[in-house]
Amino acid sequence: MRMVLSGAGLRLEDVAAAAAGGVRVEVAPDARERVRAARRLVDRIAQGDVPTYGINTGFGTLAEVSIPRADLQR
């Protein structure tokens, strides 16, 4: 069986089948490009000085805590 991740139409049953094994999982080319574009955006935000939740700040109760640029790779 083959599953192509495209960014649409993924059901819980599909995830369970992939987790159980026996399913070849692929990422559609256009979905790969969207992931790359998102990564470029996150990298650009991380290099800036504008606090952005979860990218250069903490999560939840730590949302107001800025993470120093040198520590963002952790």
Q: Break the chain into its structural domains and give their ranges.
A: 2-71
Residues ≥6 apart with Cβ < 8 Å to 25 = 3, 5, 18
C-alpha span between 19 and 23 (Å, rounded): 8
Q: Which two tokens stand for residue 37?
A: 């574009």
Question: Which pLDDT score is estimated for 70?
Answer: 87
User: Taking the chain, what is the end-to-end CA distance rounded to the nearest angstrom?
Assistant: 36
How does pLDDT run along the chain (74 residues), one tens digit per residue? 899 999 999 999 999 999 999 899 999 999 999 999 999 999 999 999 899 999 999 999 999 999 998 888 77
